[in-house]
């Protein structure tokens, strides 16, 4: 399982012209995370729990001294999680990426929703995209801060 965390001052997901999730800071400083989540063949709920915990607990938000010292909840932040099977692209041969390592849709959606629920269990406000839909994802990355997390069998890869 792979997750790309992007610290953002605002983010939104639009499907068919309608905003389905959004957050925005009143100060143009980071107030949330946009998380792109890729579920791979063989991923488990343990991977989902591990990544959700790590994403929620990473101290990547600024404290009053401007140091990255706060976790998402401590910063009062929100999160939007978007399913992104293209994170599992195999690009090593040819010019057209293959997606054989992406979990089948039913399993991918199940673990995507499990990840979102794990984030909610941590007291976070979680917005989502629409699984399988064509989405317009907008964000203003603050910093920029972008972090890649990977897990297999509930452990870092």
- Considering the domain boundaries, does residue 124 fall inside one? yes
Q: Which of 23, 84, 115, 128 is catalytic?
A: 84
Domain harbouring 111, CATH code: 3.50.80.10
Find the domain containing 50 and state its range.
2-145
pTM of the complete model: 0.94
pLDDT of residue 21: 98
Q: Which of 78, 85, 115, 128 is catalytic?
A: 85
Phi/psi of residue 124, nearest 5 degrees: -95, 150
Among 93, 3, 82, 98, which Cα is nearest to 43's?
3
Look at the chain and report how many structural domains it folds into.
1
- Considering the domain boundaries, does residue 113 fall inside one? yes
Tell me: the pLDDT tens digits for 3-49? 999 999 999 999 999 999 999 987 867 789 999 999 999 999 999 99
Average pLDDT of the segment spanning 84-95: 93
- Considering the domain boundaries, does residue 66 fall inside one? yes
Q: Is 84 a catalytic residue?
A: yes
Who's near 17: CB < 8 A, 6+ residues apart? none
């Amino acid at each position: 399982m792979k997750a790309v965390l992007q610290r953002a001052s605002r983010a939104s997901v639009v499907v068919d012209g309608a905003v389905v999730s959004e957050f925005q800071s009143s100060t143009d400083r980071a107030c949330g995370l946009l998380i792109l989540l890729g579920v791979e063949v063989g991923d488990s709920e343990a991977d989902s729990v591990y990544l959700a915990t790590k994403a929620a607990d990473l101290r990547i938000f600024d404290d009053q001294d401007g140091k990255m010292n706060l976790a998402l909840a401590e910063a009062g932040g929100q999160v939007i999680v978007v399913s992104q099977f293209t994170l599992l692209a195999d690009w090593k041969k040819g010019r057209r990426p293959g997606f054989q390592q992406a979990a089948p849709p039913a399993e991918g959606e199940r673990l995507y929703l499990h990840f979102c629920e794990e984030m909610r269990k941590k007291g976070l406000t979680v917005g989502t995209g629409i699984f399988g839909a064509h989405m317009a994802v907008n964000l203003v990355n603050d910093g920029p801060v972008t972090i890649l997390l990977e897990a297999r069998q509930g452990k870092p890869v």
